[in-house]
Structure 1
Amino acid sequence: MIRVALAEAAQRLSAVTDTPRLDAELLMAHALGIPRQDLLLRHLDDAVPATFEPLVQRRLTHEPIAYITGTRAFWTIELQVGPGALIPRPDSETLIETAIDYFDERAPTRILDLGTGPGTLLLAALDQWPEARGIGVDSSERALEYGRSNADRLGMGHRAEFRLGDWALGIDGQFDLILANPPYIGTQEQLPAEVRDHEPASALFAGVDGLDDYRRIIPALPDLLLPGGAALLEIGWTQAKAVSALGLRSGLLPAVHSDLGGRPRVVLLT
């Protein structure tokens, strides 16, 4: 029965993940085509579907759960993801939380997401502010395919435009809110196998110190921001000082915000 299969799978998966029981439950729910909550409430005594074991085998090779199931929840939306697109992380929700705090009773109406991937930050922001419109830019056409599909599926296709591009090059106009989760990992840094072997390197690595893309993005921001607007950049937890300094050099005022774990995660530039 499923109850036993979950326990056995969790034991095997403990060799490749810090969340073996959760991974097993997510894979079982995917095999059954039901939400995880329904699995836990109603189906623990059911027969194990034949499709479950192949999913476990894929996870044992360090393939990310999100690529196996094809979806990842982020903020208030669920996104379709797959190979070629960076998997949304909970830490990135700090950008949306920071933007909400910054705008308070106001609402941004023009949003730019640089390095949008599968539309993660742009679509979360558009869901938060229903009157807003935005542009998502990425250098990967594969990632943009996910972004467009997600926008259409979420009913935001008429408010979200996706463009193949190189950061802010060729972007005309100005925006209330600019969001970016650029690559910020140094090329010599070690990563878990599921990240290193499966997610796109172009969305992860940015030179020896991990700052190469900030050096390209930040100087373009003053011309792209509307008065009263803000740019929010996700950072690695050791990069707050360096990224803030880049903002100051471009005439912007930086403020650092931490994630739920208390680590510096966002530099807000105004």
Structure 2
Amino acid sequence: MTISQLRSRRVELPDPDTAALDIDLLLVHVLQKPRYFLHAYPEFELSAEQATVMEQLLARRIAGEPVAYLTGEAEFWSLTLATDPSTLVPRPDTELLVEWLLEEYGDTPEKRVLDLGTGTGAIALALASECPRWQVSAVDQSAQAVALARRNATALGLERVCVSRSDWFDQVVGEFDIVVSNPPYIEADDAHLQRPGVCFEPASALVSGADGLDAIRQITRRAPDFLAPGGVLLFEHGYRQAESVAAILRAAGFSRIETRSDLGGNPRATMGVNSH
């Protein structure tokens, strides 16, 4: 079986928008070759063992399993992160949080940052990689996620990022200039939870009550106790939740509230300044 023949199998995959990329990422993983190799040598023939592994991976992808779980890694910002089913797959839209914080504070030599619900460590590690003098901490309630984030920190030479276990702020000590979070924000009955890929991810990292805002309410209520005066709280949220998140921040005494949109033009992140 050749690379060209396998790449033609994209019509079988569940998401037409990513099918070609999905096939390429699986081929790169199986062949242990750079992606340009697939284009340069389309008639390259896989060994029998490689073809068997590729068929197994394709079957799992056709069933909806995320490519990042099949290959064990995902790209985020400029980083390659190990992934597993204990955490969400890092998504490009979440890079908006990193971009926004770097735009606002990247020239500030020192900041104390806390990433709540870190998962793979994506946000914390991206910020630490760009701002070596920032003190970056990350927490997650899942022991498996903490282990994975620590493994990513070590692999990237970012062991200075402090990763620990905490249910939001429960085990957190100290004061921070920035608290950032991509918390669960999907409504419990949202049909998107049954979509291919999403249905394989941990529900605890996706669902947050009837309206999807329970975690954001909980974090916002406690954040002023951990934020320095003038510190900021930044959330990723659903594209229909911007007004609700802004109202939650406003009710908790945050000011200068601003929302920004993701790559698709959807309101995706909201920031507020601690005025206490």
User: What TM-score does the superposition give when structure 2 sets the normalisation length?
Assistant: 0.92
* Between 138-147 and 98-107, the greater mean CA deviation after superposition: 98-107
Counterpart contact for 1:108–1:176, Cα < 8 Å:
no
Question: What is residue 37 of structure 2 aligned with on the other side?
Answer: 38
Q: Amino acid of the residue matched to residue 139 of structure 2?
A: V
Tell whether 2:256 aligns with 1:257.
Answer: no
**How far 1:108 moved relative to its partner?**
4.4
In structure 2, the partner of 1:269 is 272
Give the root-mean-square deviation of aligned CA atoms. 1.5
Counterpart for residue 18 of structure 2: 19
In 1, the alpha carbon distance for the partners of 2:185 and 2:164 equals 22
Answer yes or no: is the 8 Å Cα contact 1:16–1:60 preserved in 2: no
Aligned residues: 266
Matches within 5 A, 1:100-119: 100-119=102-121
CA distance, structure 2, for counterparts of residue 236 and residue 244 of structure 1: 12
Instruction: Write the letter of the residue equivalent to 2:183.
Output: P
- Aligned to 2:146, the other structure's residue is in SS state helix
Distance (Å, rounded) in 2 between the aligned partners of 1:79 and 1:265: 23
Given that residues 106 and 131 in structure 2 are in contact (C-alpha distance below 8 angstroms), is that contact kept between their aligned partners in structure 1?
no
Equivalent of 1:71, from 65, 73, 76?
A: 73
1:161 equivalent in structure 2: 162
Q: CA distance change for structure 1 residues 104 and 117 in 2, over 3 Å: closer, same or farther?
A: closer
Deviation, 1:239, is 0.8
Which deviations, in whole Å up to 9, do the C-alpha atoms of 1:157-213 show, x marking residues without a partner?
Answer: 1x1111111101232211122110000000010124334431000000000100100
* d(CA) in 1 for partners of 2:165, 2:173: 14
Task: Indicate if the aligned counterparts of 1:177 and 1:225 stay in contact, CA closer than 8 A.
Answer: yes
**Letter of the structure 1 residue corresponding to residue 45 of structure 2:** A
Equivalent position to 1:149, from 143, 147, 151: 151
Matches within 5 A, 1:43-192: 43-48=41-46, 49-50=50-51, 51-157=53-159, 159-191=160-192, 192=194
Choose 99-108 or 197-206, whichever is displaced more: 99-108
Which of 224, 232, 235 is the matching residue for 2:234? 232
Residues 37 and 176 (structure 1 numbering): CA distance in 2 closer, same or farther, change over 3 Å? farther
User: Which stretches of structure 1, 4 residues or longer, exceed 6 Å deviation after superposition?
Assistant: none
Separation (CA, whole Å) in 1 of partners of 2:135 and 2:12: 46
Code of the aligned partner of 2:265: G
Q: Which runs of 5+ in 2 are unaligned?
A: none
Tell me the alpha carbon deviations over residues 63-105 of structure 1, each in whole angstroms, 9 at most, x when there is no partner: 1000001111001111100111111011101101111222153
Aligned to 1:4: 5
Contact 2:185 2:215 in 1 (8 A): yes
Aligned counterparts, 1:184-223, within 5 A: 184-191=185-192, 192-223=194-225
SS in 1 for 2:245: helix
Q: Give the whole-Å Cα distance in 2 for the aligned partners of 1:142 and 1:104.
A: 31
Residues 207 and 89 (structure 1 numbering): CA distance in 2 closer, same or farther, change over 3 Å?
same
Q: CA deviation at 1:17?
A: 4.5
Q: Which amino acid is the alignment partner of residue 11 of structure 1? A: V
Alpha-carbon contact 2:96-2:262 (below 8 Å) kept = yes
Whole-angstrom distance in 1 between the partners of 2:106 and 2:22: 37
1:5 deviates by 2.1
8 Å CA contact 1:184–1:210 kept in 2: the answer is yes
- In structure 1, distance between residues paired with 2:108 and 2:260: 20
Q: Unpaired runs of 5+ in structure 1?
A: none
State how far apart, in whole Å, the 2-side matches of 1:201 and 1:143 are: 14
The percent identity for this pair of structures is: 38
Say if 1:108 and 1:177, in contact at 8 Å, map to a contact too: no
